[in-house]
Structure 1
Amino acid sequence: MNNNSNLCTWLNMKHFENDIQIKLEKSLIKYDLSPVEFSFLHYLYNQYDCKATLLEIKDSLKLSSAAVSRMAVRLEKKDCKPITRYHSDNNQKEICLKITDSGIKHFKEAAIVVDAVLNEFFTSSDFLDLRDMILSTNIQTES
């Protein structure tokens, strides 16, 4: 099989992503966060007034409603209380979440570590090799 095939490129991308995921999981343990929980807080942090509905978070993170709801419950129970839940003023059935001041502080501390991990990976020779493989695969596909 050609080393620059779409299949090989995809598998290499999956392996690279898995390596990042494992490193992020280990790095975020001291913040009592998973990478997905970190993404959850990141989404809230970047919203106007640091608020969002469960549906908005679900759509952004590409998760099921049940997964987002479970994650919200887990985050609410954490010691630093990074989020609060409330009902929308416009629709009492709509559940909204807001990142708290302690959640913002916690997120910012964890973000420094996440950024360092990602920087390490994205400046590595493995990433440069993967990038070259992707570009090479794209050129071959277009020909």
Structure 2
Amino acid sequence: MITINTNSNLCTWLNMKHFENDVQNKLEKALIKYDLSPVEFSFLHYLYDQYDSQASLLEIKESLHLSAAAVSRLAVRLENKNCRPIIRYHSDDNQKAVCLKITTSGIEHFKIAQKVANEVLDEAFANADFQDLRDMILNTNIKLNKQ
């Protein structure tokens, strides 16, 4: 991580970006073994976390802050994976609404990948760089509140 001694919003933001990029790269390397990108992992996490393990494309789009086209492409990529982690169907309430459901094999695949993702994140957040970044954010906020 690049450390700049000035606690300005700009410096804090730059350090946050660098930290996020480092974590993203580590997640990509860890998840590739499970044939998942971080955004595909997030997609499966969203479905896994739902009460009935299903959601509409619109719900996923809004939750992951992606475009409709990106969500559609991700759904197709996931549908075509060997473990078939999701299935697509039309809602009983609205035949125009496309919905996705995580499959049993998708749940199993997600749980295995989740353990590895958690290890990467635990290591990243225990790192001194993250602690420094957290302190920088807190110090920036304190300075802003005093002004």
Scaled by the length of structure 1, what TM-score is found? Answer: 0.98
Q: CA deviation at 1:133?
A: 0.3
Residue from 9, 20, 30 that aligns with 1:6: 9
Q: Give the counterpart letter for 1:70 in structure 2.
A: R
1:24 aligns with 2:30: no
Provide the residue aligned with 1:122 in structure 2: 125
| Mapped partners of 1:97, 1:71: distance in 2 | 11
List aligned pairs for 1:1-143, cutoff 5 A: 3-143=6-146
| Mapped partners of 1:54, 1:22: distance in 2 | 27
Paired-residue identity, %: 73
Please identify, of 2-11 and 38-47, the stretch whose mean Cα deviation from structure 2 is larger: 2-11
Q: Give the counterpart letter for 1:44 in structure 2.
A: L
Spell out, residue by residue over 1:19-63, the C-alpha distance to the aligned partner (whole angstroms, 9 max, x if none).
Answer: 000000000001000000000000000111100000000000000
Scaled by the length of structure 2, what TM-score is found? Answer: 0.96
Q: Which runs of 5+ in 1 are unaligned?
A: none
Q: Give the counterpart letter for 2:43 in structure 1.
A: F
| Mapped partners of 1:57, 1:31: distance in 2 | 22
Spell out, residue by residue over 1:43-101, the C-alpha distance to the aligned partner (whole angstroms, 9 max, x if none).
Answer: 00011110000000000000000000000000000000000000000111100000000
How many residues align structurally? 143
| Mapped partners of 1:34, 1:2: distance in 2 | 34
Q: Which runs of 5+ in 2 are unaligned?
A: none
| Mapped partners of 1:91, 1:70: distance in 2 | 22
